[in-house]
Amino acid sequence: MSIVLHYNEIVSIEKQNLQRGMNFRCNPEYSVLLMSTRNNAPFEDEVVADGRVLIYEGHNAYKNHTDKDPYSVDQPRHTPNGKLTDNGKFEKAALDFKEGNEKPEIVRVYEKIKDGVWSFNGIFKLVDAYEKEIDGRSVFKFILTLTDKPMNENETEIRLKEHARLIPSKVKAEVWARDKGKCVECESTDHLHFDHILPYSKGGTSESAENIQLLCARHNLQKSDKII
């Protein structure tokens, strides 16, 4: 199961405007990443290991920090005045964890399905970071692994629940278009979930749109109550 959200709902949940993809420690207890694996996505984010691992690409230099095309220069670790960028902050957190000096940074991840439509991909921990040479420039890569960390009790009304495996972006986009952004049972457009028709735990696949449907929260709960 994967929760469908609109951008204003994410803003309400996180209690701040998330104008950048990388938001280090935007909450005292965690960071937030916005990702996309769509064909036209500006960065090469990846979902591997059956959805339990994310490889997230760092951010470019801000336009007011360079007089060149941001896609042509190395992704920055520091701002022009020497402060750490979000690349640098996430890298430091990952290296501190690898060296055993800190607990892993907790990261909430939201994935863009289409313009204005997002899914909550779960709570991850940041475990590694490295630089990679791509097209003649250095980019940051961050490795995150899915956790079993529950949401806080006071957030249950938001219905942000973790799922066993990530549903690929292309599958979500296909299902969203096929089901016309509505619950297949009642045509509601509120509180939607990407639901496995045959549950993953019973052998259902996340890789095919034929096994995924849109359900509202009420019908998703009714279905869950019937599964033994």
Domains of the chain are: 2-163 (2.30.280.10), 167-228 (no CATH)
Per the CB < 8 A criterion, the answer to whether 60 and 53 are in contact is no
CB atoms within 10 A of CB 63: 10
For 163-193, what is each residue's pLDDT tens digit? 446 788 889 989 999 999 999 999 999 889 9
d(CA 140, CA 124): 18
Select the more confidently predicted residue: 64 or 23: 23
Model pTM score:
0.84
